Amino acid sequence: MTSAALALAGVTGLILGCSGKQPGTEREPSLRESIVAQIGKAPCSSSSVCRTIGLGVKPCGGPRQYLIYSTAATDSVRLAREVARYNEAEANRNRQEGLVSDCRALVRPQVSCISGRCAATAGTQ
């Protein structure tokens, strides 16, 4: 390679490096975004398909929040696997960073099919 070609390659690499993007790469969705996308609008035709799953881990224990989903529209096994990965990563981060929380326990919401969507019933949030 000539010195001019090497200089051009170096400048191109510097520009690409400074832009934060590498050629041909797009931002991949985070695991949390993937989980939320799987749940979508949680459509239902009866309350029997409505479920909850704890997402996140408070440093004192217990979930940070409950997500409501529909077994009619969500692969429950895949969802549980990804939520477990997310929760494990958050628990590890809590330990490594010595994080603390309010230690308030969340109550798992009661859910039912309301207007075609799985949702928490009144007074359970």
For residue range 37-59, list pLDDT tens digits in order: 999 999 999 999 999 999 999 99
Instruction: Tell me how far apart the alpha carbons of residues 21 and 12 are, in angstroms, rounded to a whole number.
Output: 12
Structure tokens at 72: 């009619």
- pTM for the whole structure: 0.73
Burial of 109 (0-12, 13-18, 19+ CB in 10 A): middle
Instruction: Tell me how far apart the alpha carbons of residues 91 and 99 are, in angstroms, rounded to a whole number.
Output: 10
Contact 120, 65 (CB under 8 A): no
Q: How much is the pLDDT for 103?
A: 86
Element (H, E) at 74: none
84-119 tens-digit pLDDT: 999 999 999 999 999 888 888 899 999 999 999 999
Residue 24 pLDDT > 50: no
b/e burial code for range 75-95 (CB count within 10 A of at least 16 → b): eeeebeebbeebbeebeeebe
